[in-house]
Amino acid sequence: MKRISTAVLTAALATMAGVTFAPAAFAKKEEAKPAGNTVSKEVGLAVEKAKAASAAKDIVALEAAVVEVETAAKTDYEKYLGSYLRYALVSEKIGRASTGTNGAFDPTPMIAPLDALIANANTPADMRPKFEFSRATIAYDQKNWALATQLFTAAQTHGSTEANLPLYLAKTKIQGGNVAGGMADFDSLYASGKPQSEDLYRYAIDQSSRAGLKADTLKWLQRWVTTYPSAATWRNAILFYGISAKPVAKLDKRQQIDLFRLMRQTKALADQTDYEQYAQYVTDVGLPDEAKLVIDEGKATGKIPAVPSVTVKELAAMAGRAIIAEGSFDALERKAAASPTGPLSAQTADAYLGRSDYAKSIALYRQALAKGGVNADEVNTHLGIALAMSGDKAGAKTAFSAVTGAPRSEIAAFWMIWLDHPPTN
């Protein structure tokens, strides 16, 4: 909760300014109901004492006056005044006690007056959501999720304008076990178009993942890189999705390679380990040219040190030997063209993609799709990558959009987001 200040007490006493005493006749005729904010003489005099004590900053006298109001209160309205003054007094005492504590305080003394104010039918409609919100935040801090959810919902229903209420309510639902309900509230926050902190995205990803809500996790990972497209965000999102120890999607090596390719484009390869794993994977599937390019790039950026690991040295040596052995792909390209089906065309296209010869790879991927007999989702993913690398953004989007089966459709979606939201730093 926010630190309490004298503002609450000032507001409370300002509210009392309109209080008037009941006529003498009213004291003898309890059945009479004076209109408006009329109170008994005893309550009225106690309120005046409270005003005077507050002006004099006499906390002892102020507390005595509040006790008088509470003791003399008979009607619901008078009880409302007593509860309001008690709440304000407690707030003032907390404010004084928390000086020098960076705003930390024990809100427990506020519970009773807040509960009384919420329960009292005479509490003004415009004040009710304020009290409900305050009481809800106490329940939230005490991890009383059921009560916090009830009160945040009530405050929202009664028109609370607290900016953080929707976020509090969503988190409360999740902590209380209603993860689906909380995620739905997060969706509403996102749909509102109002800027949300990066912490919200991280929280939504973490909680949906813990609950096994894969679709929500994927959605929030994609929203995260869309809204905060830094290299660090891209790295964390890609790793969380498909490369970490407990990924959202269990991918095979070829699918992970396409994520490493995206990490390379988003400047998200962070250290020698990343480059080493990437180079190892492309070596394993027979793409030595790409392994060499990755290692050379890692050295050029300083991510691979001047004296690299033994594994990196071995991978570089293997790539060099394989590239010499492969030579030109011309004969393989002619053989692919003569083949009645597309697999050889797709394999040759992959080899050209590894050499960054995008024009050749694009033509061969299209040839493979036309002939058929290939994994269309994989070929369209690679076609989209080649088109994107060649600068054909529209063509890349068309190819990526043709990928329909998960997890490749999910990988393609990340690539499409990158086309419109490249890293900002």
- pLDDT tens digits, one per residue of 383-400: 999 999 999 999 999 999
Model pLDDT for residues 271-296, shown as the tens digit of each residue: 999 999 999 999 999 999 999 999 99
Average pLDDT of span 23-42: 54
In the chain the first and final C-alpha atoms are separated, in Å, by: 35
How far apart (Å, rounded) are the C-alpha atoms in residues 368 and 351? 14
Average pLDDT of span 352-361: 98
Report the pLDDT value the prediction gives residue 13, as an integer from 0 to 100. Answer: 59
Report the pLDDT value the prediction gives residue 282, as an integer from 0 to 100. Answer: 98
User: How long is the chain?
Assistant: 425
If we measure between CA atoms, which residue out of 90, 145, 129, 135 comes closest to residue 114? 135
DSSP helix/strand/coil, 261: helix
DSSP helix/strand/coil, 286: coil
Model pLDDT for residues 101-153, shown as the tens digit of each residue: 666 678 899 999 999 999 999 999 999 999 999 999 999 999 999 999 999 99
How far apart (Å, rounded) are the C-alpha atoms in residues 28 and 25? 5
Report the pLDDT value the prediction gives residue 16, as an integer from 0 to 100. Answer: 57
Instruction: Find the radius of gyration of the CA atoms of the chain.
Output: 34
How far apart (Å, rounded) are the C-alpha atoms in residues 156 and 130? 10
Q: Is 390 exposed, middle or buried (0-12, 13-18, 19+ CB in 10 A)?
A: middle
- DSSP track, 29-56: -TT----TTEE-HHHHHHHHHHHHHHHT
How far apart (Å, rounded) are the C-alpha atoms in residues 416 and 410? 10
Q: Which of 54-58, 148-152, 173-177, 252-256 is least confident?
A: 54-58
Report the pLDDT value the prediction gives residue 390, as an integer from 0 to 100. Answer: 97
Tokens of 184: 């739905």
Confidence of residue 98 (pLDDT cuts 50, 70, 90): confident
DSSP helix/strand/coil, 5: coil
Look up the pTM and report it: 0.85
Q: Give the type of residue at 122.
A: N
Report the pLDDT value the prediction gives residue 24, as an integer from 0 to 100. Answer: 35
Paired with 20 in beta bridges are: 38
Inform me whether the pLDDT recorded for 242 exceeds 50. Answer: yes
Report the pLDDT value the prediction gives residue 34, as an integer from 0 to 100. Answer: 40
